[in-house]
């Protein structure tokens, strides 16, 4: 299906924040030192679960993991890497809350879909998936664009999406079957070099794509909680040229 160019409206703070949650693969994780109580910040891999809540693959011997075992409170800073201009004039966000082990096979799958290199060590005995229960959000869209957001603004609406989750692999295969040029247009990433993009994950509000270390996001205008509705939303994006 042909895709038309269009002028994009500026995204809302909530939309920008959700995008950061979905496309980020790394973040600065802050925990509280178990001995001194002082903050410790470390660089970690990052992904999000179906609702958008942060997921981490952490080693039990790492200082930040030991800290969480004593005090589960933590926060993670996510940034939108700028391709030009002042880095401080680009969106960034800190989300905070309790971080705990999350032995869920689907969460592990989502993490590894977004961080495939982690498969090299994800099966090591000391590594486990952790999930943050989002309790606080601090968003800054750039100079003069800080806005208050709540966890409800950030996370996908709650609904029964079991059928959509079960169909995820089939739907992602359908997206890739659209062909390299269409999937690349869906990514809408500013890069002069040709890239082979692929679908790596979905949720009720959109589609996640990757090409090597790059990530992109397709957002729907309205949520879809079952496979037929999700296909319809993607068709709407293609038909309206929202890429």
Mean pLDDT of all residues in the chain? Answer: 90
What is the CATH code for 13-154? 2.30.110.10
| Local confidence band at 243 (pLDDT 50, 70, 90 cut-offs) | low
**Cβ–Cβ contacts within 10 Å for residue 148, how many?**
9
Which are the contacts of 57, defined by CB distance < 8 A and separation ≥ 6? 45, 108, 111, 115, 118, 122, 127, 128, 129, 130
The CATH number of 162-240 is which of 3.40.50.10190, 3.90.25.10, 3.30.920.30, 3.20.180.10? 3.20.180.10
Please tell me the chain's helix, strand, coil percentages from 3-state DSSP, rounded to the nearest 5. 30, 30, 40
Asked if residue 22 has pLDDT above 70, the reply is yes
Domain limits, the chain: 13-154, 162-240
List pLDDT tens digits, range 77-123: 999 876 677 778 788 999 999 999 999 999 999 999 999 999 999 99
CA dist., res. 110 & res. 201, Å (int)? 7
Measure Cα distances from 183 to 17, 116, 119, 154 in Å: 23, 19, 25, 26
Strand ranges for 141-240 from DSSP E:
146-148, 198-203, 206-211, 214-219
The DSSP line for 73-116 is EEEEEEE---SSS-GGGS-EEEEEEEEEE---HHHHHHHHHH-G
List pLDDT tens digits, range 110-157: 999 999 999 999 999 999 999 999 999 999 988 777 889 999 999 987
Asked if residue 15 has pLDDT above 80, the reply is yes
Q: What pTM value is reported for the model?
A: 0.90
CA-wise closest residue to 175 among 132, 206, 205: 206
Percent residues over pLDDT 90 in the chain: 78
CA dist., res. 186 & res. 178, Å (int)? 10
Least confident of 52-56, 149-153, 185-189: 185-189
């Amino acid at each position: 299906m042909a895709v038309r160019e269009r002028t994009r409206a500026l995204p809302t703070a909530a939309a920008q924040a959700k995008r950061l949650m979905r496309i980020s693969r790394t973040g600065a994780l802050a925990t509280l030192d178990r001995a001194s109580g002082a903050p410790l910040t470390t660089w970690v891999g990052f992904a999000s679960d179906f609702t958008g809540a942060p997921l981490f693959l952490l080693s039990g011997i790492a200082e930040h993991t030991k800290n969480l075992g004593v005090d589960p409170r933590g926060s993670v800073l996510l940034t939108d890497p700028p391709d030009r201009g002042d880095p401080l004039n680009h969106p960034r966000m800190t989300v905070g809350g309790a971080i705990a082990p999350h032995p869920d096979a689907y969460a592990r799958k989502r993490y590894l879909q977004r961080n495939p290199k982690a498969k090299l060590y994800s099966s090591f005995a000391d590594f486990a998936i952790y999930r943050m229960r989002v309790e606080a959000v601090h968003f800054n869209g750039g100079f003069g664009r800080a806005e208050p957001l709540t966890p409800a603004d950030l996370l996908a609406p709650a609904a029964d999406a079991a059928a959509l989750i079960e169909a995820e692999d089939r739907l992602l295969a359908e997206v890739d079957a659209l062909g390299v040029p269409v999937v690349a247009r869906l990514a809408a990433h500013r890069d002069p070099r040709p890239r082979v993009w692929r679908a790596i994950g979905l949720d009720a509000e959109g589609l996640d794509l990757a090409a090597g270390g790059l990530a992109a996001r397709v957002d729907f205008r309205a949520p879809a909680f079952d496979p037929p509705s999700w296909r319809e939303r993607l068709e709407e994006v293609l038909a309206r040229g929202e890429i």
